[in-house]
Chains A and B, each alone.
Chain A
C-alpha cells in the first residue's frame, strides 16, 4: 500500500469565544491517499470546514489548532514556518470555496485573479501567464475564455464563477484539492456539470480530493471513501459502497434514512428525520456525543470516549452498539 498523501491525526481546533470554548474539531483523524476522493459528510457545525481550513492553517481567530498532527507528503504542516506554508498553499494544496461570489474579489477581473495564482505558482512571464490562464479557463470548460478574461465576477453566472474558482485552484497543479461544498450554491443541473468536471480533472491531473458536503447523494456518486462527522468527531469511515450498504453507526443510518428512495416501490414516501438537534459544542454531553439522540443508546454509551473501532477491513465506526456488526 502506498503512503498516505495527507494524514490528519487527532486534530483539535477550538474557538475561544467569550461565551466559552467551542470544540469545532475535536479529535479528527483520517488518511487520504494520492488520487483518492474522500467525502467528509456532516451537518452544519460538525467541523467539516474547520478541518479543511486547519489543513491550510487558515483557521480564523478566535479559532486555534490546539492539538494533533497534520502530515502532508511526510511533513508536519503544523510545524512549518510562514514561508514554507505559503509554498504549500495553492501550490500543493488548493481550496475551492462554497460561495464563489464571495470568494472571488469583486473589484478584480476573473482573468487577473486566476493570472495572479498562475504567476504565484509557476515561474513565467506575465504574457506567458496570460496564455496559461486562458488555457486553464479552457480546461475548466469556460466558453470563449479570451473574452471571459476581462469579465468581473458579477458578470458571470454561478456555475461560471465556480469554474473560475476551480481554474484558480488548479493554477498551482495541486496534489490535493480541498473542495468545501463546491456545488451547494449552484442549481442542480449546474451542480452535475461541475461535479463531472471535477471528476474529469481529478482523473487527468491525478490529484486527491477532500470533498466536503452535507449531500450524501453527491458522495455516493463521486467519492471513493466517506467519513461522517458529528459534533467535531468522525463517527464512521468506510468505502462508499460499504457505508451505503452496511452502515454501522446509528447516526450514519439516520442520515441514510433521511434520503428519499424512489426505487423502493413504496407509495408512502415519508422521510425519517433524526429526532433532536446537534448538541451545543460548548456544552457537549458526556460520553458518545450522539447518545442523547440515539435510538440504540445504552448506559455504557455515556462513558464511551468515541474512539473509532474497526468493524471490517477499512470500515471504522465510533460505536459500542453498532448496526451490522462485523465478524
Chain B
C-alpha cells in the first residue's frame, strides 16, 4: 500500500464500513453521514473560503469604480486592486488555496466510497487489503447497495439531476458577480457548465458517488446559508430606470390596501434592501395607480 492509501483511503474506508454497520447496514446513510462529518471537520477551511468569497463580492462595486477610473491603465488598475485587497485584508488567492487543500480530501472520500461499494467482483477482492483487523469490518462486507429503492452500484437518472440541481444551487449562492460584464458572462457560463458536467458524470458512475455529491452540495448550501444567507439565490429587485414605469411594491400583509379592484399595479416581491427603499408608499403610488372610475372616463373622452 502506498502512503496515500495507508494514510487517507484506508481509514476512510474502515470508518465507512463501521458507519454502515452501525446504521443498520445502510451504506447510503453511511455515505451521507460521513459526508456530513468530513464537512464539519473541514468547516474552518470552508468558512474561510466562504468569507473570502463574500468579501470579494462586497468589494465588486469598488472594483467597478476602479475599472472606470483606470480602465485603460491596466498596470495602475492592478496596483490599485491589490492595494484595496491588502487594505481590506482580502486574499484573492485564499479561496483557491483553500479549495486546493480540500481537494485531496474530497478525492479520497469519493475513492473510498467507490472502493467500499465494490461494484465489481475485483473491487471486493481489492477491498480486502484495506481492512483493519476489526471483526465488525470483515463481517459487515459486502455492503448492501440498496438505498431508497436505488442500487448504489448503478447510475441513476434522478440522482444525476439532483447532482446538477444541488451543485447549481450551491454555486449560485456562493457566486461572486464580477463588475466586468465579460467576466460576469463567463462566471454565468460556469454556473451552468459545472453542474451540467457533474450531472453527466453522475450518469456514468455508480449512484453511490452521486449520493455523495448531492449530500456534499446540500451540506455546503447549509453552511453557505448560515454564513451569507441566500447570497446569489436571492431575487434582486429590478433597478428603477427612467424608461420603466415599474415600481417595486413590498408585499406586506400588515399594510392594508383598501381598494379591492386595484388592478394594473406592478408587484415585485422582494426582500432586498433596494426594494425596501422603494417600497410601497401610497401617496407616491397613487399618482400612477390605476383608478377605475377616472381612467374609464379618460378613455371615453379620447374616443
Are A and B bound to each other? no
